[in-house]
Amino acid sequence: MSKAVQDRVRIKSQLALGEIAENTAGVGRISKDQIQARATPFGGERRKPDA
C-alpha cells in the first residue's frame, strides 16, 4: 500500500514540476517579448509572425 502511495506522490510532484516549468517558460517568453518590444522603433508594436 505504501508503494502505491509513493507512486502517487511521485506523479503529483512531477506534475507540479511540469506546471512550474511551464510557468517559468511563460515568464521568460513574456520578458523576452518585452525586451524585443523596447528595441522596436514602432512603440513596442510587434508584427506577429505568419502562421
Single-letter code of the amino acid located at 25: A
What is the predicted pLDDT for the residue at 10? 80
pLDDT of residue 21: 63
Q: Based on the number of CB atoms within 10 Å of its own CB, is 25 exposed (0-12), middle (13-18) or buried (19 or more)? A: exposed
- Residue 2 has a pLDDT of 86
Between CA 44 and CA 41 the distance in angstroms is 7
- For residues 24 and 33, what is the distance between their CA atoms, to the nearest angstrom? 14
Q: Please report the pLDDT score of residue 33 as a whole number.
A: 62
Tell me the mean pLDDT per 10 residues along the chain, length 51.
82 71 59 61 58 54
H or E, element range at 43: none
Question: What are the angstrom distances between the C-alpha of 31 and each of 3, 17, 28, 50?
Answer: 42, 21, 5, 21
Model pTM? 0.31
pLDDT of residue 49: 61
